[in-house]
């Protein structure tokens, strides 16, 4: 089917094509991730110049052809111009867009991922929020939206909640969440009995100890409405544990290092 359609979305990637055109990757509420051509958008006088920039959010009028989309016009409600004066914020925004691009699919409704991305970019402009915390909130919540969130309400193996009264718990990406000490010891013994070695799963090498405050922080991130998600801060110790836990979890469940991550390492 061909014709004009209106989609709400944000430009994730903008790539030059030919002499004057751009190919955009847009995350849309209605159709998920799509690719669209913005013809002539690299000309200084083009009406599509602004809407073809990364982070541009609004309503896009597109011509839907048999094999591709073409941008006809757009009404942009937020360019996130405040981020463009902050080099660190720009790199984080690029990472969030790349992460969203990798994790979303075409022709699948993406209202919640789009809203999360929008709220995350807004949070980058808040001076009271550490950008590293904004990143980890985004990652953990995005994994939850994708149906791959860790279990942090109780032990992922036996279901005990009493473990949260302890000063720390064992966070295991392979098991998919928090493990109590009793279950962790059982897993270690089971693997020892089976003589599992040589790069395979060994519980004593999979995961890390995190404090109860970090566990509560993860619970809050997973349960809080998006509108209230970026309204808190944590101590440096909790942030460090959260960063380590998310690095391990993403390595296990995403298994892909974003190119833009390299730039974040300098901050």
Query: 3-state SS of 14-26?
Result: EEEECCCEEEEEE
The per-residue DSSP string of 171-206 comes to EETTTTEEE-HHHHHHHHHHHHHTT--SSS--GGGS
pLDDT tens over the chain, length 267 residues: 568 999 999 999 999 999 999 999 999 999 999 999 999 999 999 999 999 999 999 999 999 988 889 999 999 999 999 998 999 999 999 999 999 999 999 989 999 999 999 999 999 999 899 999 999 999 999 999 999 999 999 999 999 887 778 888 999 999 999 998 888 888 888 777 775 555 455 555 678 999 999 999 999 999 999 999 999 999 999 999 999 999 999 999 999 999 999 999 888
- Which domains are assigned to the chain? 3-123 (2.40.50.140), 140-267 (no CATH)
Considering only CA atoms, which of 171, 170, 202 is closest in space to residue 187?
A: 202
Quote the CA–CA distance of 188 and 157 in Å, as a whole number: 13
CA–CA distance, 236 with 43 (Å, rounded to integer)? 47
**For residue 192, what are the contacts with CB-CB under 8 A and spacing of at least 6?**
none
**Bridge partners of 3?**
64
Asked if 159 contacts 203 with a C-beta cutoff of 8 angstroms, the reply is: no
CB 109 within 8 A of CB 32: yes
**pTM for this structure?**
0.93
Q: Directed axis angle between helix 131-145 and helix 236-253, to 10°?
A: 40
Show the CA angle centred on residue 108, arms to residues 102 and 113, nearest 5°: 55
CA distances from 78 to 7, 8, 41, 81, 265 (A): 15, 12, 18, 8, 28
């Amino acid at each position: 089917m061909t014709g004009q359609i209106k989609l709400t979305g944000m430009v994730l990637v903008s790539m030059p094509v030919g002499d004057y055109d751009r190919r955009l990757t847009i995350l849309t509420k209605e159709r998920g991730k799509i690719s669209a051509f913005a013809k002539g958008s690299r000309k200084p006088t083009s009406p599509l110049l602004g809407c073809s920039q990364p982070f541009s959010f609004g309503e896009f009028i597109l011509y839907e052809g048999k094999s591709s989309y073409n941008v006809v016009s757009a009404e942009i409600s937020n360019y996130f111009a405040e981020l463009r004066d902050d080099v660190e914020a720009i790199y984080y925004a690029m990472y969030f867009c790349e992460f969203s691009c990798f994790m979303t699919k075409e022709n699948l409704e993406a209202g919640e991922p789009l809203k999360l991305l929008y709220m995350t970019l807004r949070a980058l402009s808040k001076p009271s929020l550490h950008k590293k915390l904004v990143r980890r909130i985004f990652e953990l919540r995005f994994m939850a939206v994708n149906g791959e969130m860790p279990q942090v309400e109780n032990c992922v193996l036996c279901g005990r909640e009493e473990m949260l009264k302890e000063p720390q718990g064992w966070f295991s990406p392979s098991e998919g969440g928090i493990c109590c000490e009793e279950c962790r010891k059982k897993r270690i013994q089971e693997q020892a009995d089976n003589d599992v070695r040589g790069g395979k799963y060994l519980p004593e090498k999979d995961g890390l100890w995190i404090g109860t405050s970090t566990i509560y922080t993860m619970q809050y991130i997973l349960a809080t409405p998006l509108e209230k998600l970026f309204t808190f801060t944590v101590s440096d110790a909790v942030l460090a544990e959260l960063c380590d836990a998310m690095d391990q979890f993403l390595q296990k469940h995403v298994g892909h290092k974003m190119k833009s991550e390299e730039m974040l390492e300098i901050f």
